[in-house]
Structure 1
């Protein structure tokens, strides 16, 4: 594909994707899942090769795009294993290291923050993560003030830069050689999930709702600003792609618990990011049926909601249609166990019902699983290309990039471990251009902040 063809295809795909999210007319239903695990293994790679070898990872994506060029966005693997190895991360079990090479990675949930540490966390969450949390989840940090632990911090930062370079080169290659956009850039967790996933753990968190309800809410309030800063640190600076948020715990909460503990801080975080000029792609994992109506409180056309396999895509359309774009509907079980004829009939029905009037993206339940049959994936695509057409005369174009940073009054200033004014005072002032020194100092502080907070995901 020559550069001009790649550019045209990239703009067409991105424009189609952006139009669907914004509830605007486009030529057809986008094929745009947020996580395409099927693409990781389609080429024959095992799971270890994908997370340890960036070249094999990219080759797998190229093989997938070559055979399924109708797909509009592509994101598959999110793990760069050498980063996890450098620090000895205990929150994930990885193929080839802890698991057989053909086994998907696994998340390990446990209590990594004690109940009596709520006040310390609320007072200064970043300091808490550095001094308490990271040594508990990273085995290489466990021995303080040793050569090995100091070197592990250094290796972790270097591995982060290696990962950033891998991701940057991959993104540029997919855009310039294949015309392929990303489905999202940047990430955060709902404040409640940030507490319940790797800090308190789900079992302890559910007890906290009864034992320490005020502390849970105070911690969530603090986390609004930390999650917003984390999201903005990794977001697409041109605001082309939504920011990703997986939601893990609402399926286990009653409507009253959700309204009291989960929704206020989650809503506020999203509102800050939208005010900053971004859109959000939210994985509504599990069954959000009892909570869907709350999403109508979010700004219209600014949040893409992935409806999981356990959810009801048709009810989601009834509740959210005309206000927020939804994605999903293609049953995982059908893609894995069904026939091409069954997939085709299923997707035809989705296009003609859920897809009516736009605001819909074809996807699986938040992802396309590893074990999808290639012939079923092809049947899904062919059905969309036949039954998911709106107006073939529309030529999708992306929205103009918005590179400027938009200040948000509701977002508290980022709390650095060593603010510039503190460092300047320690030096007794500076002799030259203060702005020149301050800018680099704060950039490094912000990068370190993002590195620390990413370990909550």
Structure 2
């Protein structure tokens, strides 16, 4: 199956999952959204297979300096949710020309997710999450571009934090409402710019953690588990998560964080998921994958651990290596 077709059609995505299960075996948990919706939800301009890329290439995100520093005041005046919707419309190819188009796209995404979730549950699996959200801090970092946003935070963080303090609760409440409307119990948050790879621990403590902690608690109070998609190195940030009520946050690690040290730091206060590296799937051997997975399973025998890939399984993964991960838990 070509990437072009899988990206274009939720039905092709379901077919791809079915084909994969037949080859590698059935996992316990599966992503409930198709690639086209994942691409949209990332909130960055994208290059797609069959459009800018070869038909069987992996889609790519393009990070550019989308706005200048004076835009923060405009965002505050308009409100984050309205501004972000306008931004999403502008970066599509072709751009959307009316809010009705955006609304129709969101409705279609909901239908796609429902169809995929129904398939997943029919196979005896569960969805990895029931809804998706993200911190405004991380979205602004990607839209403004990392270097410029980091300078903004050092030179004049006030306008940025004004937006976050006022509008992050609104974003959270909207995500909670959507999740509860569909009887969901878990929401993934893509906090991909809050790690030590991108910010200093002192910046995290002053600017990021208070709002991130407040968000996690809002979801917890609503009975919803907050799944933190923690790309890059989160090791210096993990001690803060021990401040949270036990079990309200599930942290997905991608291989850049030392998962054994992470497990020791959290001591079961929050659960973690991970973290077979992409490089091992692509360039390792089945024996290497199996040994790594067995080490992680032994580490997690006290509880609070889910074995998975570190972030995504790469397009060039060896089938036998992916099967080796599944077989460790099926043997």
Q: 1:157 to 1:208 in 2, by over 3 A?
A: same
The residue number in structure 2 matching 1:380 is: 325
**Whole-angstrom distance in 1 between the partners of 2:291 and 2:119:** 35
Secondary structure of 1:247's aligned partner: coil
**Alignment of structure 1 residues 325-344 onto 2, 5 Å:** 325-344=271-290
Closer, same or farther: CA 73–112 of 1 in aligned 2, 3 Å: same
Aligned length: 325
Q: 1:350 to 1:202 in 2, by over 3 A?
A: same
Q: In the superposition, relative to structure 1, how do residues 187 and 130 fare at CA in structure 2: closer, same or farther (>3 Å)?
A: closer
Look at both structures and tell me which one has the larger radius of gyration over its CA atoms: 1
Structure 1 counterpart of 2:179, from 235, 250, 264 = 235
Offset at 1:55?
A: 2.3
1:174·1:181 contact (CA, 8 Å) conserved in 2? yes
Superposition deviation, residue 314 in structure 1: 0.4
Equivalent residue in structure 2 for 1:347, among 290, 293, 303: 293
Distance 1:379 1:103 in 2: 25
In structure 2, do the counterparts of structure 1 residues 135 and 219 end up closer, same or farther at CA, with 3 Å as the change threshold? same
Q: Which residue of 2 aligns with 1:203?
A: 147
Question: What SS does the corresponding residue of 1:179 show, helix, strand or coil?
Answer: coil
Match of 1:109, SS state, is: coil
Report the CA distance shift for 1:174/1:350 in structure 2 as closer, same or farther (over 3 A): closer
The C-alpha deviation readout for 1:258-291, integer Å capped at 9, x for no partner, is: 1112211111111111111100111111011111
CA distance in 1, matches of 2:198, 2:44: 25
Query: Where does residue 73 of structure 1 map in the other structure?
Result: 29
Aligned residue in 2 for 1:258: 204
Distance 1:351 1:137, change over 3 A: same
Aligned match of 1:267: 213
Distance 2:235 2:76 in 1: 32
Root mean square deviation, CA, Å: 2.5
In the alignment, does 2:133 pair up with 1:188? yes
Q: What is the CA distance between 1:119 and its match in structure 2? A: 2.4
Q: Normalised by the size of structure 1, how large is the TM-score? A: 0.66
Name which structure has the greater RCO, CA cutoff 8 Å, separation 6+: 1
More strand by share: 2
Q: CA deviation at 1:312?
A: 0.2
Unaligned runs of 5+ in 2: none
Residue equivalent to 2:156: 212
CA distance in 2, matches of 1:130, 1:293: 35
Q: 2:35, 2:177 → 1: CA distance? A: 18
- Contact in 1 for aligned 2:241/2:266 (Cα 8 Å): yes
Deviation (angstroms), 1:54: 2.5
1:357 equivalent to 2:311? Answer no
The gaps in structure 1 that reach 5 residues or longer are 1-44, 143-148, 387-457
Classify 1:74/1:378 alpha carbon distance in 2 versus 1 (closer, same or farther; 3 Å): same
Show the 5 A alignment for 1:15-414. 45-75=1-31, 78-80=34-36, 91-125=45-79, 126-129=81-84, 133-134=87-88, 136-138=90-92, 140-141=94-95, 149-150=97-98, 153-176=99-122, 178-198=123-143, 200-235=144-179, 237=181, 239-249=183-193, 250=195, 251-352=197-298, 354-386=299-331
